[in-house]
Structure 1
Amino acid sequence: MTPLSTEQRDALREITAAIESMDGGAFDDALVRAFSTGLHESLVEPLIAAANATWHTRHEDVVHALQQLRPPLAVAVLEHLALSDHTALHYDGGLALVRKCTWALADIGTAEAKQALARLATNHNTAFAAFAVRRIERWDDELGRKRGR
């Protein structure tokens, strides 16, 4: 693991405190700080913990961070989040969140991530399924985006 800068350490501390207190506003601010200081792999576990939380509305940002970090540990939570019903995200029927989850899974790029996409591709919601199908179809074309490449 690469060392944390002072700013990254502060962002990690703020995210952890926001999660512990279930403070959506503080979580919003801490995520902004984490992105601005550069995402660090030490954020993976707190982000996974916050992914399905109902006390904040930043699920798309959490998925975006996980996509950038590409942690294999996030596969299960990304699949679950893609299938979750978050009331705050109904502005588009959850399409943006599902699309972001499929991209994050594709960028993680492990066999487990591809299996999660295959399960999502069988979803009764054809729009949701189409996002997963597209990532599977483009799997080999997008190898350069995947973890460890």
Structure 2
Amino acid sequence: MTPEEQDLVKGLVFVPGKGRRRTLDEVFAHFGESDGGALALRLLRDAMERRDADDVGMALIVKASADASGEEFLEPLIELSRADWHTRHEDVVRMLGKLRSPSTVPTLVEATRWVPEYLDWDENRALAVKAIWALGAIPGAEAREALEGFRDDENEIIRENVLKQLARRGEL
């Protein structure tokens, strides 16, 4: 994406007290697309192919702004969750959680355990917490068993969030 295209996409972000500077229709018109999901997927795959961390962020903004979801996002989001060349892991895990797909359980378990180098400072383990909450949103035994596997984790933050999710699911 050009800097101008990135600025256009950034205009979709809601800023409290100011709102949005751009509309989805403006973004769609610029990129010659009428479907937010299709545009987000195209931008995401392009950014991944080029390993462009900034453009991954832009694609995720389009995806979120268009409220795009669907099975077609599973593969690229799973791949991005493991990629060490970008810094949008928390957004990716949150989006995987919104898909509520049992096929994402192994990926979310991995995200609970993994601390990317750029997040090494984060004692609150925000990526792990987001992964745990995503697991909590997925129905079924596989997600419950994954959560149970972290019940005795050495990290108190992980244990507390697992217990909250199991309680919310009525499985404590």
TM-score range, shorter chain: 0.7 to 0.9
Task: Give the aligned residue type for 2:110.
Answer: H
* 1:109 Cα deviation from its structure 2 partner: 1.9
Deviations 1:81-112 (A, max 9, x none): 11002122234225211111111001012210
**Per chain length, whose mean CA-contact separation is higher, i.e. which structure has more relative contact order (CA < 8 Å, sep 6+)?**
1
**One-letter code aligned to 2:118:** A
- Length-normalised TM-score, structure 1: 0.84
2:76 corresponds to 1:46: yes
Query: Who wins on radius of gyration, i.e. which is larger?
Result: 2
In the alignment, what sits opposite 2:166?
136
Contact 2:124 2:157 in 1 (8 A): no
- Native 8 Å contact 1:39 1:69 kept in 2: no
Q: CA RMSD in A?
A: 1.6
2:88 is matched with which residue: 58, 66, 69?
58
Q: Distance in 2 between matches of 1:127 and 1:94?
A: 7
Structure 2: give runs of 5+ residues left out of the alignment: 1-33
Q: Using the aligned pairs only, state the percent identity.
A: 34
* 2:74 and 2:96 in contact (8 A); partners too: yes
The 5 Å alignment of 1:1-149 reads 6-41=35-70, 42-93=72-123, 95-140=125-170
Inter-partner Cα distance in structure 2 for 1:27 and 1:47:
10
